[in-house]
Amino acid sequence: MRYLLSLIFIYSTAVEAQTINWNNIASVSKTTPTLQLVENPMVRPSSPIHKQTFKALKDLGANYVRYVPWFPYPKMAVAELKRPDKNNTYWDFTYLDSTMQAVMEATEGHTTVINFSTTPVWMWKTDSVVAYPADPYKTCWNYNQGTQLVDTTMKEIADYYVRLFSWYTKGGFTDEIGKFHKSDHFYKIPYWEVLNEMDFEHNMTPEFYTKLYDVIVTALKKISPDTKFIGLSLALTQNPAYFEYFLNPRNHRPGVPLEGISYHHYSGPSFEGQPLEYYQYTFFEKADAFLERVRYIENIRKRLAPGVFTTINELGVILRSPEASGPIDYDYWNLAGAMYAHLFLELTKIGIDVAGESQLVGYPSQFPDVSMMNWENGKPNARYWVLKLLKDNFGPGDKLVNTNLNGGVDNQGFITPEGKKILLINKKNVEAKVQLPAEAKGAWVSCVDVSTRENPPSREQLTDNSIILKPFSVAVIKL
């Protein structure tokens, strides 16, 4: 009798291991998959891949696209590089306008998150004048100096952002000596992120950043009350003090809204020279450790500011220094894409609002290993195609159902407006056979794997109710 019960248990477990209960709703998705684009020479109009890059961005059709002009290229990130005097100001949008225009055109009809993250270094107390290259396309990694503002009231930095924001939304602005600068830009900016990775850039404390956020947001709300503001944009998430302080409404000025927060995660090798075959373990272990921190941060957010939304808008892998060169194995792009898919799925389960892959274009001198485009031929790589596969199939409002498939891969059933779908993610560098419910026979599968490389997802019809996934596959089965 005991033997018979054991057989029944083994049989029932095997059956359960390949079932999807479409009537058991586990949660409803809030999560939008998207990406960020960082200003750099390879996205400029003169770049050989400029047209392909912005075509890929437009074809993606994503919401919450994050655009960040960033400090390694001061002339492309800062609108006033010299301190004004009583006779002159030094506003110059020559290198800022063209990429901003390309971004806004490529994302027309979709929401964007704009973050002119770099403040003029002359606003900060430094030991000496900070020089920057005359060539706008040369990097300047030491531009962000200083930890104390010259103007301790913070009005100077707030006025800078009011003028920059007005340039892009109000057709121009009046400068420090009363001269009007006309732009003819009237962009709608639904989301504005206040600075970037302030725990690194200028090494701001939670108290300093919160005060600065309040001053900037108060000033910008006066000219754009409908814009929503995102704070923190942390590089690291190990220190809960940033979240505890910033998310506590008592630490903000009266009337300053708490609307959104953001933070980042990059996996990477455990040590320099780690072999590629170990990445499949290291990257996902670090991703899962990050997810535990996300759950902790969510508890803080729900306790202090439950109405605040969360955008985790830099998700990727950094293999080495930003200026490193040398070949990157083709399988790496699929592995990094599978890791993003894993994070997207788990963040959806947690209830995060936005999961943003980083970044559309990288290349040697600008974090080549985070690129979603091949900077040599202008083709989107597997990381892009994974994002597009997820964006085209999943989004807010989808119902996640109780799913338990065997095969050793991530698996999740969704009920979407287009019908029932199954997401499968193979995190290993070996093939995996997944047994599917009987209803999967004849279903169509779209897949990004090591055979598709820089091509769109493959599409094929299942001949039975099982599927063999190639290494690092991300597949969507539409029933």
3-state secondary structure of 159: helix
DSSP per-residue string spanning 238-287? S-THHHHHHT-GGGS-TT----EEEEEEEE--SSTT--HHHHHHHHHHHH
CA distance 395 to 28: 10
**Residue 210 above 60 pLDDT?**
yes
**Residue 1 above 90 pLDDT?**
no
Q: Of all residues in the chain, what percent carry a pLDDT higher than 70? A: 96
Q: pLDDT band for 266, please (50, 70, 90 cuts).
A: very high
The predicted structure's pLDDT at residue 7: 38
**Residue 14 above 70 pLDDT?**
no
**Residue 4 above 50 pLDDT?**
no
Average pLDDT, the chain: 94
CA distance 464 to 431: 18
**Residue 10 above 60 pLDDT?**
no
> ∠ CA 436-437-441 to the nearest 5 degrees?
80
**Residue 6 above 50 pLDDT?**
no
Phi, psi of 295, rounded to the nearest 5 degrees: -65, -40
The predicted structure's pLDDT at residue 325: 76
The enclosing H or E element of 30 equals none
CA distance 113 to 178: 30
Q: Of all residues in the chain, what percent carry a pLDDT higher than 90? A: 91
Sketch out the chain's domains with CATH numbers: 18-25+400-478 (2.60.40.1180), 30-396 (3.20.20.80)
Longest dimension (CA), the chain: 97
**Residue 76 above 60 pLDDT?**
yes
**244-277 as b/e, with b when 16 or more CB fall inside 10 Å?**
ebbbbeebbeeebebbbbbbbbbbbbeeeeeeee
**Residue 233 above 70 pLDDT?**
yes
Q: How many CB atoms lie within 10 A of CB 477?
A: 23
Q: pLDDT band for 406, please (50, 70, 90 cuts).
A: confident
Q: Return the bridge partners of 68, or none.
A: 38
**Residue 303 above 60 pLDDT?**
yes
The predicted structure's pLDDT at residue 275: 87
Amino acid at 431: E
Q: Tell me whether residue 218 is exposed, middle or buried, using C-beta atoms within 10 angstroms of its C-beta: 0 to 12, 13 to 18, 19 or more.
A: middle
From residue 75, alpha-carbon distances to 191, 208, 342 in Å are 24, 26, 37
Q: Which two tokens stand for residue 450?
A: 């090591």
**Residue 182 above 80 pLDDT?**
yes
Higher pLDDT, 6 or 445: 445
**Residue 91 above 70 pLDDT?**
yes
Q: How many CB atoms lie within 10 A of CB 286?
A: 18
Sign of torsion over alpha carbons 248, 251, 254, 259: negative
Q: pLDDT band for 16, please (50, 70, 90 cuts).
A: very low
Nearest to 187 by CA among 91, 255, 116, 137: 116
Q: Is the pTM of this model over 0.85?
A: yes
**Residue 464 above 50 pLDDT?**
yes
**Residue 13 above 70 pLDDT?**
no
3-state secondary structure of 118: coil
**Residue 442 above 50 pLDDT?**
yes
> Rg of the chain's alpha carbons, rounded to an integer?
24
Nearest to 401 by CA among 18, 13, 28: 28
Amino acid at 126: T
3-state secondary structure of 414: strand
Task: Give the pLDDT confidence of 351-363 residue by residue, as tens digits.
Answer: 999 999 999 999 9
Nearest to 205 by CA among 213, 125, 150, 315: 213
CA distance 111 to 202: 29
CA distance 325 to 369: 10
Phi, psi of 38, rounded to the nearest 5 degrees: -105, 135
DSSP per-residue string spanning 352-400? -SEEEEE-S--BTTB-GGG-SB-TTT--B-HHHHHHHHHHHH--TTPEE
Q: Which two tokens stand for residue 442?
A: 């004849």
Asked if residue 213 lies in contact with residue 202, where contact means CB atoms within 8 angstroms, the answer is: no
The predicted structure's pLDDT at residue 2: 46
The predicted structure's pLDDT at residue 322: 83
